[in-house]
Amino acid sequence: MAVIEIKSVAKSFGSFTALHSVDLAIADREFMVLLGASGCGKTTLLRMIAGLETPSEGEIWIGGRRVDHLPPRERGIAMVFQNYAVFPHLTVYENIAFGLRMKKLPQAEVDRRVTRTAELMHIEQLLKRYSGQLSGGQRQRVAVARALAMEPDVILMDEPLSNLDALLRLEMRAELKGVLAASKTTTIYVTHDQVEAMSLADRISVMHQGRIIQSASPIEVYRDPAARFVGSFIGNPPMNFLPARRVGPGDWQVAGLALSGPSTDADEADFAIRPEDLSLADAGLPAEVRVVEPLGPHVLVTCDVAGHAFRAILDNETRAAPGDRLSLAPLPGRARWFDRTTQRALSA
Amino acid sequence: MTREPAHRRRARQLTMALVILLGAWVLVPIYLLVVNSLSSPAEVNGFPKSFVPSFDTGSLGFFLGFAGVTRALLNSVLVAALTMVLSIGLGAPAGYALSRFEFPGKSSYRLLVLMTRAFPLPLLALPLAVLFIRTGLDDSILGLALVHTSLALPFAILITYSLFSGIPLELEEAAWTLGCTRLQAFRKVILPLVLPGITASAIFAFVISWNEVFAASVLTIQNRTLTAFLLQSLDVSPMPLKFAGGFVLVLPALIFIFAVRRYLFAMWGIANR
């Protein structure tokens, strides 16, 4: 049970500014994912919430209590680290019990919680082992069990799945989602993997160069990027961008195609469209096919539109070969527009 | 099977020869020491010599009963033990600080730690003796232990530095998030993990003090350590006794160094198995 408020938090290391004045409110029991490329400040933000870094400026509140000057142990948090940080000199049981013993809980309660969380994470048969005898996936489970056993207000996760192989990652992802939803804690989860972010989050905060660019539900981040960066970062393949020229109020010209768009004063803007939001139609963007990649359910066609690389995901029955000329029309209501200078989204 | 080129083979033979030479350099004196101290005085002085000792403990027994030997042995142990405690007590925190914190002058500090070893002790011995006489530290176990600590400290710092650096910071951070203070995290997580290595560097400090002869001879008169005592008295002793004394001196050092060799390799940057 805890709301987290981050108020104008900034962090610099010497002359390098890792985080520029970030504001973020996270609701009770919300699953918030901080998503961004490496070096965007997401881990720094998480570590400041944990108390492992001190903010240079700003305030952090957890559950109505200002915590930015408290040590980690007094913040009511538990953390899962990227490399698991399972104590090598203790058994799995003692690892999970570690925080409970620090709280001086009676042995019966320690036993109850260790058993319960171990069952939850399916590691009850490993309790007597040491971390050296565990696989990466099993260590990951121990780390999560150790955090859950604390019954914290907030669970912080720093790229917990990035060291697992692809198949295990998929399995753990689904399991984590279930376990964390059942635990009723607020979760902050840091990742650079957009698929992980999409599948886990209630809300995603996309970070770039020490700033939060957009905080919204996964589908909103995907459908309505607040900035050009978000559209180019999220989605595989990412959004297509083309320069647009204004020809009248709300009327725009994109690679020779007339489209209606935002009514702004600027003469130029960026037109954006997701590859799957295109269809073959007579009135469309003139595209010359470069590469055709059949992907099973659909076919990915990389084209050249007015000198710009442009990707379209089309029906798998589409017959196209390099050198072919296609006419690609945006699906109604799916085109997005971005300001050329601020790179922020323009409302159509 | 392809034959290796002649020059490559010759290089390998040369390396082997050097290894054998260096090995013999260290091992032959130890071998002679062992053979002679475990032989009867008659055999030591006789000719031809046997290459297998007769396991006569007469010389060793006589040596240990020699006036002043037990006292000197006790002094050696006391000074070495004190050196061990002081160098770990001061060195381990320094090693921890070096591995965990960034502070101005960190790299020059590390260099400086090593530079203390470049300063010749004989140059230092006379001023030290004067200083010790003025402060009343002369001819005392504490005074000698302080000098030995200054010799052992650089190693203690560098060994513990590499030990602490080998422990991921994440483990400590995990302990903090699980309710530990800095000190508790150190005691419950870091200490159990570095303890074997700390023990090794403590033993190494012990050996440095145990083997040290120069400062011990200059700074003590009545309270001689075994090395200083032997240097003084063995010169005028019969041959079998010299061997027995040397044997008693070398044995503990050899055993200790053998026990901690893995950690010394780690300190010198050779991969640790």
A61-108 pLDDT, tens digit per residue, is: 999 999 999 999 999 999 999 999 999 999 999 999 999 999 999 999
pLDDT of B106 strictly over 70: yes
User: A-chain residues within 8 Å CB-CB of B190?
Assistant: none
Nearest-angstrom CA–CA distance, A316 and A298: 4
Q: Are residues A19 and A37 in the same domain?
A: yes
pLDDT of B256 strictly over 90: no
B29 in Cβ contact with B249 (< 8 Å): no
Residue of B nearest to A144 (CA): B174
Residue B261, min C-alpha distance to chain A (Å): 23
> How many folded domains does chain A comprise?
2
Q: Are residues A187 and A277 in the same domain?
A: no
Residue of B nearest to A51 (CA): B177
Residue of B nearest to A85 (CA): B171
B106 in Cβ contact with B165 (< 8 Å): no
pLDDT at A119: 92
Task: Locate the domains of chain B by residue range.
Answer: 66-267
Both ends of chain A: CA-CA distance in Å?
A: 40
Q: Are residues A202 and A101 in the same domain?
A: yes
Burial of A16 (0-12, 13-18, 19+ CB in 10 A): exposed
Interval B50-94: pLDDT, tens: 777 777 777 777 777 777 788 888 999 999 999 999 999 999 999
Could you list the residue range(s) of the whole structural domain that residue A132 is in?
Answer: 4-232
Q: Are residues A24 and A73 in the same domain?
A: yes
Is A71 in CB contact (< 8 Å) with chain B?
Answer: yes
Q: Are residues A194 and A298 in the same domain?
A: no
Asked if B174 and A103 come within 8 Å (Cβ–Cβ), the reply is: no
Interval B112-128: pLDDT, tens: 888 877 778 788 878 88
* pTM of the predicted model as reported, rounded to 2 decimal places: 0.80
Asked if B174 and A85 come within 8 Å (Cβ–Cβ), the reply is: yes
Over residues A146-153, mean pLDDT: 92
Q: Are strands A308-315 and A345-346 parallel, antiparallel or unpaired?
A: unpaired
pLDDT of B45 strictly over 90: no
Q: Residue A76: which CATH number? A: 3.40.50.300
The residues on B that touch A, with CB distances below 8 Å, are 168, 170-171, 173-181, 184, 188-189, 192-193
CATH code 1.10.3720.10 for B66-267:
yes
Nearest-angstrom CA–CA distance, B68 and B74: 10
Q: What is the dihedral of CA A340, A342, A344, A348, to 10 degrees?
A: -50
Is A162 in CB contact (< 8 Å) with chain B?
Answer: no
Vertex A238, ends A47 and A30: CA angle to 5°? 40
Asked if A150 and B178 come within 8 Å (Cβ–Cβ), the reply is: yes
Q: What is the dihedral of CA A162, A163, A167, A171, to 10 degrees?
A: -70
Q: Between B117 and A341, whose confidence is greater? A: A341
User: A-chain residues within 8 Å CB-CB of B173?
Assistant: 50, 52, 72, 79, 81, 85
Q: Are residues A69 and A216 in the same domain?
A: yes
pLDDT of A216 strictly over 90: yes
Over residues A52-61, mean pLDDT: 93
Q: Are residues A159 and A287 in the same domain?
A: no
Interval A19-44: pLDDT, tens: 999 999 999 999 999 999 988 999 99
Q: Are residues A123 and A260 in the same domain?
A: no
Where a domain ends, among A215, A232, A249? Answer: A232
Is A78 in CB contact (< 8 Å) with chain B?
Answer: yes
Q: Are residues A46 and A187 in the same domain?
A: yes
Q: Residue A308: which CATH number? A: 2.40.50.140
Residues 6+ apart with CB under 8 A from B59: B37, B39, B40, B41, B44, B240, B241, B243, B244
Is A150 in CB contact (< 8 Å) with chain B?
Answer: yes
User: B-chain residues within 8 Å CB-CB of A98?
Assistant: 175, 178, 188
Q: Between B30 and A217, whose confidence is greater? A: A217
Nearest-angstrom CA–CA distance, A137 and B35: 58
The pair of three-digit structure tokens given for residue A282, joined into one six-digit string: 């007579």
Nearest-angstrom CA–CA distance, A287 and B4: 62
Where a domain ends, among A232, A252, A277? Answer: A232
Q: Are residues A164 and A278 in the same domain?
A: no
Q: Are residues A163 and A249 in the same domain?
A: no
Where a domain ends, among A232, A251, A273? Answer: A232
User: A-chain residues within 8 Å CB-CB of B192?
Assistant: 89
pLDDT of B268 strictly over 70: no
Q: Are residues A199 and A325 in the same domain?
A: no
pLDDT at B2: 59
pLDDT at A312: 94
Instruction: Select the residue of A79, A82, A88 nearest B177 (Cβ to Cβ).
Output: A79
The proportion of chain B whose per-residue pLDDT surpasses 90, expressed as a percent, equals 29
User: A-chain residues within 8 Å CB-CB of B168?
Assistant: 83, 85
Q: Between B123 and B153, whose confidence is greater? A: B153
Asked if A73 and B180 come within 8 Å (Cβ–Cβ), the reply is: yes
